[in-house]
Amino acid sequence: MAKMIIKLITSIGEVINNDPYVGDKLKVIFLENYRVSLAEKVIPAADLSQQISTAGTEASGTGNMKFMVNGALTIGTMDGANVEMAEEAGEENLFIFGMRVEDVEALDRQGYNAREYYERLPELRQAIDQISSGFFSPRDPGCFRDVVNMLMYHDRFKVFADYEAYIKCQGQVDQLFTMLMPGAGVAKGTHQDQSGNA
């Protein structure tokens, strides 16, 4: 499944990167063989770090902390080291969204049904329909059938359950970035000049 998801990412990239309206403004790039030497280039250049694992599913790593220390804003769930970052930096200094561990456990007890979210959220439905219709794989329309099947019927991460909160949180991030002048250093709630002075 991981290789198929990578193929989906690169296929989406082909469509977006060649789109006449957004192709020169937005690029989808998959970085192969992510390693320390690549991280040393990517992390300092990042404006936003997305740490979006389902609560209770991710081991606690330090990659997200490296992004934060280098000035990137964090959008994430209360999972892994995001929990520690929220405790130390204050949850108000991160863009936190989605279920907490107890919410995931409650959803497990009541039963997760991806179709409920698919039917209720038109934007999500459109994305899934585009993937399943071959929009991103016109030469092989059924290429991503297994990905869609996993998301709709076998998703142990319950991705759709956090979708609405994720989109809302992305809107908050977008609002903040829209307010900022280009080139300004940013920490949520704080403006820093290039020398690091608040």
Q: How far apart are CA 96 and CA 139, in angstroms?
A: 39
Pair of tokens at residue 191: 């403006």
User: Sorting pLDDT into bands at 50, 70 and 90, what band is 126?
Assistant: very high
- Quickly list H helices, the chain: 2-17, 36-45, 63-69, 81-89, 101-110, 114-120, 122-133, 145-153, 159-179
**Long-range pairs for 28-36 at CB < 8 Å and ≥24 separation?**
30/6
In this predicted structure, the answer to whether residue 188 has a pLDDT above a threshold of 80 is no
- 145 in a domain, yes or no? no
What's the whole-model pTM score? 0.84
- Helix, strand, or coil here: 51? strand
Question: What is the full DSSP assignment across 125-158?
Answer: HHHHHHHHHTTT-TTSTTTTHHHHHHHHH--TT-
- 84 in a domain, yes or no? yes
Encode pLDDT of 74-121 as tens digits. Answer: 999 999 899 999 999 999 999 999 999 999 999 999 999 999 999 999
Range of the structural domain that residue 60 is part of = 35-99+162-188
Domains contained in the chain, number = 1
Q: How far apart are CA 108 and CA 102, in angstroms?
A: 10
- 1 in a domain, yes or no? no
- 133 in a domain, yes or no? no
Count of all residues that appear for the chain in the document = 198
In this predicted structure, the answer to whether residue 177 has a pLDDT above a threshold of 90 is no
Residue 60: its pLDDT value, please?
67
- 134 in a domain, yes or no? no
Higher-confidence residue of 89 and 128: namely 128
Task: State the amino acid at position 192 in one-letter form.
Answer: Q
Report CA torsion sign: 141, 142, 144, 147: positive
Q: How far apart are CA 162 and CA 28, in angstroms?
A: 22
- 60 in a domain, yes or no? yes
Question: Among candidates 94, 8, 5, 114, which has minimal Cα distance to 52?
Answer: 94
Question: Exposure of 80 by Cβ count < 10 A (0-12 exposed, 13-18 middle, 19+ buried)?
Answer: buried
Mean pLDDT along residues 6-30: 93
Pair of tokens at residue 59: 């081991």
